Structure 1
Amino acid sequence: LKVVSEADGTDGDQGRFTIDPTNNYLMLQTGTSDGGVTDTVKIHIGAGDSALVINSAGDVSGTHGTYHISSDVRGKKDIRTIDNALEKVLGLRGVYYNWINKEDKSLQMGLIAQEVELVVPEVVFTGNDEAKTKAVYYDRLVGLLIEAMREQQAEIDSLEARIEALENGVVVPKKETETEKSNFWGRILRGN
């Protein structure tokens, strides 16, 4: 066990706590070396420049690696296809925004957790803090987006078949989709 530096993290100085059994190490490092963000903690596991970096702004990044989430069927039960996926996706609103109390002042892109919760509460986390801060599990939206694309593709295929039939002079009765039914009743209720 060794402490490499007792620096205070200012002026580029870094404080480190290192465990190094023959260069296969765990290192905790604080300082201002990561883009000027103070209170940065780097966790190095193994030799080389691979790292997991966590900073005081709440940003987490990894170098030279990938992020995995377990998805093995052996760990799941009650599996069923997501229903009305396209309708749910159409109920979401993508937004641009800036954080209020963060060092990172760059323009952001994402969703508003409270809005998402009204449509797909399964992908919203409510914190245990006093304010009950909400967050979106963005990774859980992937399945929804895939099913929405599949529903949309089925509608496109159906429309292409109708167009081809009409071009060949065949009259094909139109099958109303759930989205069209819901839009129809929405127009009726709005008086359109």
Structure 2
Amino acid sequence: MATLQKVNLGTPPTAVDGDTSRVANTKVNANVDVLAKQATLTSIAPLTAVRALTAADVGQRVTFSFTGAQTVPLPQASTCAADQILLLRNAGAAAVTLSKATGSSDTIGLSKLNPGETALLDTDGTSKWSVLMRGRSNSDNESVNGILTASGGITANGVVISAYASPIVYLNDTSASGFADVRFQSNGTTRWSLQKSTANNFNFSRFDATGAFLDNPLSFAAATGVGAFTQRPTFAGNTAWDSGNLTPANYMPKTGGTFTGAVTFPQSTAAGGLLIGTGGVLYLYDGGSGSIAMRTGGVSKFFTFDAVGNGNAVNGSWINGSDARLKSEIVEIDSPLDRILALRGVFYELKSNPGVRQVGVIAQEVQAQFPEVVSAMGGEDDYLGVSYGNLVGPLIEAVKELSSKLDAANKRIDKLEGGAS
């Protein structure tokens, strides 16, 4: 607004040094012109159709009454006098966007008027429209089209944040070295919080009934993103395994592995056995004197392997499958007696168990006659072993051949003795 002028009344009582009547009246008229421009706002008819506002609308109360969202250009600031004002009201049902005049580079301090809002703008007469006052909407609901900044706190019974695409809530620690918290209270006392720490880690924090900090049950490191629990969690009531109660290196994976030490089962009962399938239990235990026993039934039904390598079937037998239905290419053993006679039955002592006399055969000698019953036993030295039970077949045939020869010899003897008598 232009500066008002004062009339110089002069020095009393004559006032001959003051303004003349014409000069005084000229100043008064100039003041009237200035004040006339600041007259009480008047309203124009509500706008129901979009049009650009002009300098003629300045000093007026302009009401928008659109049925949908619209954009209204403001008067070009340079066409208005400095400090002139414009009162805008949105009586419509949608937001009204305020834009600069076509071809101008004006700046406007307000981008939108939400439904029910009022704004008083003034211009610098050059290139700017500023907001002098902004009235709230005509309900308890408020909308902020830009950024809401609060240097203190914000208290609300409920906060709803929505956007067409991607609503975002920022808690900006401008110091870059402080905390940023979202706190959850019970009757004014903090019990939980989501926190950015001074080290920029993310913490889920717990507080006691007085609001005193207890701990961070869950934290995520800013550098690695790795989460850490200070308490062991449970899942469906079950405690999770972790490095505190499980050492993976001490367990055999399902895909197999190698035991580096002894494996011990504590007892020879079902609790210490290995379940094989659904119907049998295999027990491996020390039967005494360093032997290994496998029990298949009652206490007296088991097999043992003693410290010197002997196998024993206690109250049982070693049984080999021999059903004709399992075999093909069946032929009788040729020259069984000659083959048996080529073998030696020997007494011997094992080099690994000196002083203990044993009886058997020599595998290499048996292999020359019956290679089918000799097998390499593996290991570094690939020792040969004999399936003694399979020698029963050759022995049977050898006995039969010997029996035939004995019968023939007896007939000849009988014949000779008969002729002599």
Instruction: Determine the structure 1 residue equivalent to 2:360.
Output: 110
2:285 pairs with 1:29: yes
Mean alpha-carbon deviation: is it higher for 40-49 or for 120-129? Answer: 40-49
After superposition, where does 1:47-62 map in structure 2 within 5 Å? Answer: 47-62=298-313
2:351 pairs with 1:100: yes
Residues 86 and 148, structure 1, Cα contact 8 Å, conserved in 2: yes
Instruction: Determine the structure 1 residue equivalent to 2:23.
Output: none
CA deviations on 1:56-77 (whole Å, 9 max, x unpaired) are 4222112111221111000001
Aligned-pair CA distance for 1:117: 1.1
Residues 86 and 151, structure 1, Cα contact 8 Å, conserved in 2: yes
CA deviations on 1:9-36 (whole Å, 9 max, x unpaired) are xxxxx95354259xx85432126x2xxx
Which runs of no fewer than 5 residues in structure 1 stay unpaired?
1-7, 9-13, 171-192
Q: Secondary structure at the match of 1:49?
A: coil
Instruction: Determine the structure 2 residue equivalent to 1:11.
Output: none
The match for 1:147 among 392, 397, 410 is 397
Aligned-pair CA distance for 1:134: 0.4
Instruction: Determine the structure 2 residue equivalent to 1:128.
Output: 378
2:319 pairs with 1:73: no
RMSD (Å) for aligned C-alpha atoms:
2.5
Which runs of no fewer than 5 residues in structure 2 stay unpaired?
1-261
2:267 pairs with 1:16: yes
TM-score w.r.t. structure 2 length? 0.33
CA deviations on 1:53-102 (whole Å, 9 max, x unpaired) are 12342221121112211110000011111110000010000111111113
Aligned-pair CA distance for 1:45: 2.4
Counterpart CA distance in 2 for 1:43 and 1:163 is 56
Aligned-pair CA distance for 1:150: 0.5
2:421 pairs with 1:165: no
Q: Alignment identity in percent?
A: 33
Counterpart CA distance in 1 for 2:403 and 2:339 is 16
Counterpart CA distance in 2 for 1:46 and 1:151 is 42
Relative to structure 1, the CA distance from residue 25 to residue 74 in structure 2 (aligned partners, 3 Å threshold; closer, same or farther) is: closer
The residue type equivalent to 2:286 in the other structure is: T
Instruction: Determine the structure 2 residue equivalent to 1:181.
Output: none
CA deviations on 1:147-166 (whole Å, 9 max, x unpaired) are 00110111111111111222
The residue type equivalent to 1:67 in the other structure is: W
More helix by share: 1
Aligned-pair CA distance for 1:124: 0.8
Residues 16 and 30, structure 1, Cα contact 8 Å, conserved in 2: no
Q: Which has the higher contact order (CA 8 A, sep 6+)?
A: 1
TM-score w.r.t. structure 1 length? 0.69
Counterpart CA distance in 1 for 2:379 and 2:284 is 26
More strand by share: 2
The residue type equivalent to 2:402 in the other structure is: Q
Tell me the matched-pair count. 150
Mean alpha-carbon deviation: is it higher for 80-89 or for 121-130? Answer: 121-130
